[in-house]
Amino acid sequence: MSTVTDYFGSQVFDDRVMRSMLSSEVYASLRKTIDEGTELDISVANAVAEAMKNWAVEKGATHFTHWFQPLTGITAEKHDGFIAPAPDGSVIMEFSGKELIKGEPDASSFPSGGLRATFEARGYTAWDPTSYAFIKGRTLCIPTAFCSYGGHALDKKTPLLRSMEVLNKQALRILRLFGNNTAKRVVSSVGPEQEYFLITKEMYEQRPDLRFTGRTLFGAMPPKGQELDDHYFGVIKPGVAAFMEELNDELWKLGILAKTEHNEVAPAQHELAPIYTTTNIATDHNQLTMEIMQKVAARHGLVCLLHEKPFAGVNGSGKHNNWSIATDEGQNLLSPGDTPYENAQFLLFLCTVIKAVDDYQDLLRIAVATAGNDHRLGANEAPPAVISIFLGDELNAVLEAIKTDSPYQGTKKTQMKLGVDVLPKFNRDTTDRNRTSPFAFTGNKFEFRMLGSSNSIACTNIMLNSAVAESLRIYADRLENAEDFETELHEMIRKTIKDHQRIIFNGNGYDDAWITEATEKRGLLNYRTTADCMPHLMDEKNVTMLTSLGVFTVDELRSRRDIMLENYCKSVLIEANTMINMVHKRIAPAITRFTADLAKEASGKKALFPDLACSYETELVRKLSVLTDCIAEKTDELEEAVLGLQGTEDIVEESALIRDTVLPRMSELRIPCDRAELLTAKSYWPFPTYGDILFSVK
């Protein structure tokens, strides 16, 4: 049996393959494009395309595709064969540099939010040489960016690459000020921890709500849920272990560094985390991971649910975005150093993140906003919708000492003159324990915990990179013009701590008292829903920051706001219609049948034994009849709410109506249905219950 080291990355046209298959001139030229972003000569592109094709064909590939990430949130591909006819009737396999560099997919059916007129059907895809090509099935996939002919970004990769570029540029300015003249690039890295549920296909198929919406819209709690905490890190069941084994193999072949896997808090819930890598590669890999999880699950008779809240009353699924920035020389800029100078630099980068997160809380909230994720945030299972930063006691004490110009009360008293005094060593292990914080410093990286499990991590990292680049830009402007570097630095850091200390919170983020304090005393934002936050994407400060850095144009921003709100409205409407349908076609008829049978039974008994009360049956008939009436009324109200949306033309207005009328009525309708489920005999109930589904995988 071959070992992991033999097949790791075997489906990837990575550096090893490039080095072995390309001439040294072509390799050097491609490497320069990858490392420094220089333009690629067409003759080089032809040579790379030829090598890529030969490599792929050798591995059984017959097609190639430009693989991209449109604004649907998933990936898209259109396959083209390598074959070309030869004069003698046979075929040859062809692939040119032009085909590698640029594609022209018919893009008219992808959301563009008005960026591309429908008559202008074509967009184009452009090769991203910084993310390696790979083989999936029998197709060579080439990671690409996707734009309209007018040059507008129609995807998530383009702005992500732009945000990495601006972060690089501004961070280098700072490093130069600290005397670092050797680093060539600063890159942000991400390790996303991915949560998901696994259930059997058999259960899934029987639930229209899961099939149409990805989550259950009805379902009473089973007698046993996650109360005992016996699933978290528990023994992995054989069916799940077999799935994980195959998933790892598939991911490893694609060069994805899947590292840890374990059971999560909820029954049937699991997590996978890869080793961190460059942000755009991590993004591509996370998209691939989600896709492959679903494919591998299907081969095992399972379904992988990536929805943020598949089951009410059971923890939902999120994604933790572990983020750091480092130089090409391997220096992590969020890691405290050993010398006073390194420490001052660390504190400066730390402060840029603090400032960025406070100034652009709304953008971070917007980056994770979907109808699905709205169910988790603030529901005591994920961070609240209020953003705050956790630093840990020690780092907090250091900042406090700087702010007040007082000695740091660590193990020994230290005066905190930046650039002169050595920072005390922080004990890293103690920094990672606050699980309730949306944005936690964990020793040498920040962990942003608000993402939903199905979110593309691109959005979060675009906003994070951009906001931090903006803080760095402001700091660099000041420091470059400072009379005395150290005094200016010290003052700037002090002022940042003073101005932005409201965003720092080391307590329990799930506590109601915190939400009150955050919003009422500290003035932090609390956008509970997608409908609340998304319109703020177009707030002047956000538009100014993102356009002046060149990460988005105004039109691109507006299109994203519209698409995200449209997605929100469409998802909720599909859910509402699915509920109405399930009630009329399945739930109400089932309860009625059960009630009728009970009534018949009771009257039959009474005919035989007139002195019997038959109170069990009659009481149940009465209760279920009351519930049926209530269900009918609540269904009518939901139908009315859906009809009430007709005529709204503005997407912001429609999303607000959905939030205020449709969603609350969905919750109201669910209550009598779930109650009825508990009172109805199992043989009559038309769907598998939560208990059946959550404990279905053996």
Q: Is 528 helix (H, G, I), strand (E, B) or coil?
A: coil
User: How many Å separate Cα 66 from the centre of its chain?
Assistant: 23
Single out the segment in contact with ligand ADP by CB under 6 A; choices: 162-170, 189-197, 516-524, 589-597.
189-197
Strands 439-441 and 389-390: parallel
Number of residues that bind ligand ADP (CB under 6 A): 16
8 Å CB contact between 33 and 48: no
Using the contact rule CB under 6 A, the part of the chain among 17-25, 76-84, 187-195, 221-229 near ligand ADP is: 187-195
Toward ligand ADP, which CB reaches closer, 444 or 501? 444
Q: How far apart are CA 22 and CA 543, in angstroms?
A: 44
Please select the residue that binds ligand ADP; options are 105, 129, 191, 378, rule is CB under 6 A.
Answer: 191
The least CB distance from residue 274 to ligand ADP, in Å, is 6
Q: Which of 50, 99, 193, 556 binds ligand ADP (CB under 6 A)?
A: 193
Q: Kindly identify the residues of this chain, within the stretch 295-324, that bind Mg ion according to CB under 5 A.
A: 320
Q: Is 324 in the site for ligand ADP (CB under 6 A)?
A: yes
Of residues 361, 360, 351, 389, the one with CA closest to residue 546:
360
Q: Looking up tokens 């960026």, which residue turns up?
A: 115
Residue 349 burial class via C-beta count within 10 angstroms: exposed 0-12, middle 13-18, buried 19 and up: buried
Nearer to Mg ion, 65 or 286 (CB): 286
The residue nearest ligand ADP at its CB is 191
Residue bearing tokens 């594609």: 103
CA angle 564, 566, 571 (to 5 degrees): 95
204-243 positions binding Mg ion, by CB under 5 A: none
Q: Is 135 helix (H, G, I), strand (E, B) or coil?
A: strand
Which residue lies nearer to ligand ADP by CB, 275 or 298?
275
Cβ 271 to ligand ADP shortest distance, Å? 8
Provide, rounded to whole angstroms, the least separation between the CB of residue 434 and ligand ADP. Answer: 12
Binding mask 273-312 for ligand ADP (x = CB under 6 A): xxxx------------------------------------
Q: Which residues in the 319-378 window bind Mg ion by CB under 5 A?
A: 320
Residue 291 · residue 137 · CB < 8 Å: no
Query: Residues with Cβ < 8 Å from 295, sequence gap 6 or more?
Result: 250
For the bound state, the minimum distance from the C-beta of residue 26 to ligand ADP, rounded and expressed in Å, comes to: 32
Token representation of residue 50:
């030829």
Q: Identify which range of 77-85, 216-224, 322-330, 484-492 contacts ligand ADP by CB under 6 A.
A: 322-330
Which of these segments, 272-280, 350-358, 362-370, 394-402, binds ligand ADP (CB under 6 A)?
Answer: 272-280
Two tokens, residue 619: 């009481």
* 13, 52 Cβ separation under 8 angstroms: yes
Tell me the pairing of strands 63-67 and 139-148: parallel
Cβ partners under 8 Å of residue 361, min gap 6:
387, 503, 524, 525
Place of tokens 């259930």: 199
Q: Specify the residue, 20 or 260, whose C-beta has the smaller distance to Mg ion.
A: 260
In the complex with ligand ADP, which residue's Cβ is closer, 64 or 323?
323
Among 332, 506, 519, 661, binds ligand ADP (CB under 6 A): 332
Residue 444 binds: one of Mg ion, ligand ADP, none (C-beta under 5 to 8 A by kind):
ligand ADP
Which of 217/333 has CB closer to ligand ADP?
333
Strand (E) or helix (H) holding 239? helix 238-253
Q: For residue 481, with 0-12 CB atoms within 10 Å meaning exposed, 13-18 middle and 19 or more buried, which class applies?
A: exposed
Which residues of the chain form contacts with Mg ion (CB under 5 A)? Answer: 320
Which residues of the chain form contacts with ligand ADP (CB under 6 A)? Answer: 189-191, 193, 273-276, 322-324, 332, 432, 442, 444-445
